[in-house]
Amino acid sequence: MPNKFYDKPIDEYLPQNGNRGYRVSRYELTLVYKVAGNRLTGRAEITAVTTEVRPRYALDLSQSLSVSKVFVNGVKAAKYTHQRGKLVVTPQQRIPAGGVLALVVQYGGAPKPVRGPWGEVGWEELSEGSLVASQPNGAASWFPCDDHPSSKASYRISITTDTPYYALANGALVGKQTKASQTTWTYDQPEPMSSYLATIQIGPYRRYRVGPAHSRVPMHAVVPPRLRSAFEHDFARQPKMMELFVERFGPYPFGAYTVAITDDELEIPIEAQGISVFGANHCDGRRGYERLVAHELAHQWFGNSLTIRQWRDIWLHEGFACYAEWIWSEASGGASADQQARAARGHLARQPQDIAIGDPGPRRMFDDRVYKRGALTLHALRLHLGDTAFFDLVREWTRRYRHASVTTEDFTDLAGHYSMTSLRPLWDGWLRARTLPQLPSAQGKLAH
């Protein structure tokens, strides 16, 4: 394996992930999945543009899948190797910078999650079906890709599986064809999407419309029939949530929104582009997980439309999604965002103060302190700017960087235009220091 694939990591948090020399613009995945034996066969057509002349190009692909054929620009690759999670392809002829790199990879095997510091992520077999939860580096468990959040592309996903099962993937369902015992579902996702947000959910599900038929954002649920009544109670306020978030965050960034409920229990819900996945345990009939409903919906703006360029900036995803929980609580008759923030700060003050959330380190990027302190950073900014300027800033943030990659510097630079004084002390205290700052007084600063 040439060292040049590893000498300059694209992301220090995931040094093995992502690849240089090209930019993918589209993935077309044609997959067949046998539920009973957990067998996946696939054909991935990857359209990219080269950014430099190289003798070979690499893709991320798990070793649990075997590659049978590789084509480059319509002809067989001169050579390919598949080792240590990298599929390295040598074209028969050099491709000039700015040239088309069209890869076709045929592969198959028994997909399984990728094991890492954050547990197992990627393709997971369920008791009846499968789910995909790829954050941060599990996409390579089911298709060859440039597995890094800054690599965003459009997708077409075709999945053929046993007819009794419902298959859900990102984007709009553009085709469904049943032949004998198998059904092929074809989805198209035109908006750019990071590989970790691509998903397939297969199970004994039915699809239902959620909310009024005239709502601006079509919403659906893909749910086991046994859980439908609990779902309809627990997620009843989701259309109101959508209205609130559109008002506060700006237009919903995708064509529709779907919530999937697995027939199995899940420890935590899962975000995907245009889709949120909850476990059967999250339908408790008591709205016991409504804050998570808000959290996952908010990720459609913060995480899916605006996606971090580097994993160290994950507070931009999780801080906003956590803050959305408090905004929903405030708007729906629960505790105000200020009350939630002060309670969260009190809780954090009793924990070790040994993390700077602007660069928490790879092992701690999913630490709950990143989520809560990220939300507190936004609340401190809201207290500084006042409600009108704060929400104007948030709406400009989602508009300016819609479907793009973002950094902490992008946000702090934009926020600076909304403040009469330097925000540097705020960023230093909340993002760069380990010691937890005090929240400023809310007196007269928040509208209710």
Which residues are known catalytic residues?
A: 296, 371
CA quadruple 412, 413, 419, 421: dihedral sign: positive
Using alpha carbons, select from 95, 122, 126, 96 the residue that is nearest to residue 111: 122
Using alpha carbons, select from 140, 141, 137 the residue that is nearest to residue 124: 141
- Phi, psi torsion values for 319, nearest 5 degrees: -65, -45
Give the whole-angstrom CA distance, residue 242 versus residue 276: 13
Q: Report CA-CA distances (Å) from 195 to 13, 273, 291.
A: 16, 10, 26
Residue 403 marked as a ligand binder: no
Q: Helix (H, G, I), strand (E, B), or coil: what is residue 276?
A: strand
- Phi, psi torsion values for 254, nearest 5 degrees: -130, 175
Residue 295 marked as a ligand binder: yes
Give the whole-angstrom CA distance, residue 137 versus residue 10: 13
Using alpha carbons, select from 369, 267, 272, 268 the residue that is nearest to residue 315: 369
Please, are residues 280 and 261 in contact by the beta-carbon 8 Å criterion? yes
- Binding site for Zn(2+), by residue number, is 295, 299, 318
- Binding site, by residue number, is 295, 299, 318
